[in-house]
Amino acid sequence: MGTGILSTGDKILNVMKEMDMSIPGLAALSGVRENTLLDIMAGIREADINTLCQVADALGICVRELCPDEERYSIPVEKNTLAKLIVVSEINGVELDALVASILEKGIEENGFYD
């Protein structure tokens, strides 16, 4: 296995593979619907804490082992603002996430929240 960043879904899938467990098997043991498990594994949705606990219990592991390697936050952004950010990142040859991080850092510095 590589050293990439793993999501909750990736981690569940890896444990399931190690245990030779199917999705219906995990659903039966955890009490979590198959569709919900599939959505989590596909990255369509992030599991709430109750679901994580049910899955971790069914897999016999600590719930912390299912937490994603990197936190991501969702914030609403207007389409035209996102489009402008994408254009600026393309023009400057910078990845979009690096551009956003830079904007956030400078905004924090300018507002006195950054040492």
Each residue's pLDDT tens digit, 24-83: 999 999 999 999 999 888 888 888 889 999 999 999 999 988 887 765 555 666 778 878
| Pair (15, 62) in one structural domain | yes
Residue 102 pLDDT exceeds 50 = yes
Residue 56 lies in a domain: yes
Which of 1-5, 40-44, 99-103 bottoms out in mean pLDDT, i.e. has the lowest? 1-5
Has residue 40 been placed in a domain? yes
**Structural domain span for residue 87:** 79-110
Predicted confidence (pLDDT) at residue 18 exceeds the cutoff of 80: yes
Does residue 115 sit within a domain? no
Q: Which two tokens stand for residue 93?
A: 């040859």
Question: Same structural domain for residues 83 and 52?
Answer: no
3-state secondary structure of 24: helix
> Which CATH number is 33's domain given?
1.10.260.40
Residue 73 lies in a domain: no
How large is the angle between the packed helices 23-30 and 8-19, nearest 10 degrees? 100
Quick one: average pLDDT of 77-104? 81
58 and 95 assigned to the same domain: no
